[in-house]
Structure 1
Amino acid sequence: MPKGSIKSIITYLNGIEGIPPNQFGRFDAFLIGAIGIPQSGFVDLGVENPTRLEFYKRLSTAKAATKEITLIPGETLHFFLQDVARVYGLDAQKLQESYEKYFHLPEGVIVPETYKLPMGLDEDSLMKTLAQISYKWHEDTATKLLGVYDRDKWFYYVSIASIVQKEAANIEEMPIVAAVVFNRLKIGMPLQMDGSLNYGIYSHQKITPERIRNDTNPCNTYKYKGIPPYPCTSASVQSLKAVLDPADVEYLYFVRNKNGTHTFSKTYQDHKSNF
């Protein structure tokens, strides 16, 4: 349904393909005005072949037609936009362009969540909506956990959390992995974590020695010391809490074990024996 007056609604209804010309007239405008102005956008009437009166009643009370889209923690913007384009029938490149218009970082700002968004939004409107939701979440969550929202400082933590998100085998491991990150930073040791290289189009790819040697992206924590200048993936609230309250351990190393979790160690010698 279009935004505007009852007249514009009648004009729109008369222009729908398959409806006889001038099917809706002054009496219909009167009925619509008496029952209530329909909301704009795509609406779900919830019934097929209604009577004329039932059609107008449902038109004025119908819920917006929506679809769900989920951003999984640890997933990247590239694949999320591909999913959004498929679900909502939009253009992925235009979504990317709109993302760059409303978000200040190239990755990691959209909150991992299930979104129920109305059909009919164009690329720009959908990205603007996600920006409003996400930035409010970041501000509210930072204020709750830290007492204040300093955007640059907060997204520094989000950047660390994005690495923890990719590296930890489960939520229980997150504070320990976070501790390893801070322990390495404290002594000036490169993070050298594969998960940081699972950025963008490489989200689901195995990290190879060639990628480690040749990838010049800031998320390559083998090549560059310190924390990447922006999150490499999306990060859950659990990974953020782990970063803000890391475990009190002295570990510097960890390796995946046969159980699918990690074995942690303080020294490189112990680390080698855990392989």
Structure 2
Amino acid sequence: MKEKKLTILMYIFDIILIITLSLMYYLNKPIQTAKILYIPKGSINQIIAQLERNHYDVNKLDTYFLRLIGSPQNGWINLKTSSNTKADFLYKLTTSKAALQKVTLIPGETTYVFLNELAKKLKLNAVTLQKEYKRQSPYSEGVFVPDTYQLPIGIHEATVIKLLLKLSLRKTKQLSYKIFGTYNEKKWFHYVALASIIQKESANSAEMPIISSVIYNRLKKGMKLQMDGTLNYGKYSHIKVTPKRIREDMSIYNTYKHKGVPKIPVCNVGFDAIKAAIFPAKTDYLYFVKSKLGTHKFACNYSTHLRNIRHATK
């Protein structure tokens, strides 16, 4: 009888040993991930399922370990390294948090300038950032929605672009559905191109529907837009437009040489400019010039416009 009990105890011990060794082996297995991860809000099961969808080597067993360790942090977390043991990975999910950096894209700024500023703030490679934007973005300009974004320090270039495009598209669709009841990308970016000129030319939001009306009125009459703001594209975002520049610039943005609205937006636009592009004021204005106060004087005919110019330069 004693021998039988001893055999049973040894059998149980062997099972416990095997389970213990198996768990130790499992928890010491390496797992490869990005250094910076985004953990959505949700239950442990939902978080593990999300990580699985992102092709990380996790499974149902990890949910039980997490219930013992603690709940994962929500938001961006910094794992410090891309290679961890399974035990370290699960522990870091519950304890790590990434430092965030506020980054603001102002309405009217070009993507080229914004990405260069972003590279400096997040200590990223500016060239790689520009290349990733070209690779991922459906348009070369005007895709980002001006806003203040909280971005994790340590995130790499491809993820930054992916995140900004995702957030911008979400906000774009929200406004489009509010105005049109649907979202048509081609139609929307037609208005973005128009809005980008309005954004560059307007002194404030109140002027935007009036500037918009001038653009529509000139287009109806077959006039060239002849607006300096269209030449503040890309790296020229903050460069003063000179007569020499107007003569020598051969890009699609030179509205002194080409009729119509450039097919590619000049810059990233705020929603006030978008709404002005869709709902212009009803005016007969064809001309405007910046006054000494910084706002614009509008005119329906060229003689009045010339008089406004003289007053602005005195």
Q: What TM-score do you get using the length of structure 2 for normalisation?
A: 0.71
Do structure 1's residue 91 and structure 2's residue 118 form an aligned pair?
A: no
CA distance in 1, matches of 2:205, 2:244: 30
Given the superposition, is the C-alpha separation of residues 10 and 227 from structure 1 closer, same or farther in structure 2, using an over 3 Å criterion? closer
Q: Residue deviations 1:92-149, cap 9 Å, x none? A: 1111111012111111111111110122221111111111111222222112112221
Q: Secondary structure at the match of 1:201?
A: helix
Conserved in 1, the CA contact under 8 Å of 2:195 and 2:274? yes
Which residue of 2 is the match for residue 237 of structure 1? 271
Which residue of 1 is the match for residue 164 of structure 2? 130
Q: Secondary structure at the match of 2:149?
A: strand
Which residue of 2 is the match for residue 248 of structure 1? 282
Identical-residue share of aligned pairs (%): 45
Instruction: Report the alpha carbon displacement of residue 7 of structure 1 after superposing the two structures with TM.
Output: 3.5
Do structure 1's residue 221 and structure 2's residue 255 form an aligned pair?
A: yes
Given the superposition, is the C-alpha separation of residues 11 and 78 from structure 1 closer, same or farther in structure 2, using an over 3 Å criterion? closer
Given the superposition, is the C-alpha separation of residues 205 and 37 from structure 1 closer, same or farther in structure 2, using an over 3 Å criterion? same
Instruction: Report the alpha carbon displacement of residue 63 of structure 1 after superposing the two structures with TM.
Output: 3.5
Q: Residue deviations 1:23-80, cap 9 Å, x none? A: xxxxxxxx98733376674279xxxxxxxxxxx9997245432111111101111111
Which residue of 2 is the match for residue 199 of structure 1? 233
CA distance in 1, matches of 2:93, 2:274: 44
Q: Residue deviations 1:174-198, cap 9 Å, x none? A: 0000000000111111011000100
Given the superposition, is the C-alpha separation of residues 6 and 157 from structure 1 closer, same or farther in structure 2, using an over 3 Å criterion? farther
CA distance in 2, matches of 1:11, 1:74: 40
Conserved in 2, the CA contact under 8 Å of 1:41 and 1:120? no
Conserved in 1, the CA contact under 8 Å of 2:79 and 2:92? no
Q: Residue deviations 1:216-253, cap 9 Å, x none? A: 11111111110101110111000111111111111000
- Unpaired stretches in structure 2, ≥5 consecutive residues: 1-25, 34-64, 81-89, 310-314
Matches within 5 A, 1:179-190: 179-190=213-224
CA distance in 1, matches of 2:280, 2:106: 23
* Candidates 142, 150, 162, aligned match of 1:116: 150
Matches within 5 A, 1:6-155: 7=28, 34-36=68-70, 41-42=77-78, 60-155=94-189
CA distance in 2, matches of 1:74, 1:7: 51
Which residue of 1 is the match for residue 211 of structure 2? 177
Which residue of 1 is the match for residue 302 of structure 2? 268
RMSD between aligned residues? 2.6
Which residue type is aligned with residue 143 of structure 2?
Answer: V
Q: Residue deviations 1:154-179, cap 9 Å, x none? A: 10100111110111111110000000
Which residue type is aligned with residue 295 of structure 2?
Answer: T
Report which stretch shifted further, 115-124 or 201-210.
115-124
Which residue of 2 is the match for residue 21 of structure 1? none
Instruction: Report the alpha carbon displacement of residue 151 of structure 1 after superposing the two structures with TM.
Output: 0.7
Conserved in 1, the CA contact under 8 Å of 2:287 and 2:302? yes
CA distance in 1, matches of 2:249, 2:307: 29
Report which stretch shifted further, 56-65 or 208-217.
56-65
Which residue type is aligned with residue 116 of structure 1?
Answer: Q
Do structure 1's residue 165 and structure 2's residue 199 form an aligned pair?
A: yes
Q: What TM-score do you get using the length of structure 1 for normalisation?
A: 0.81
Given the superposition, is the C-alpha separation of residues 10 and 127 from structure 1 closer, same or farther in structure 2, using an over 3 Å criterion? closer
Q: Secondary structure at the match of 2:289?
A: strand
Q: Secondary structure at the match of 2:241?
A: coil
Given the superposition, is the C-alpha separation of residues 146 and 32 from structure 1 closer, same or farther in structure 2, using an over 3 Å criterion? closer
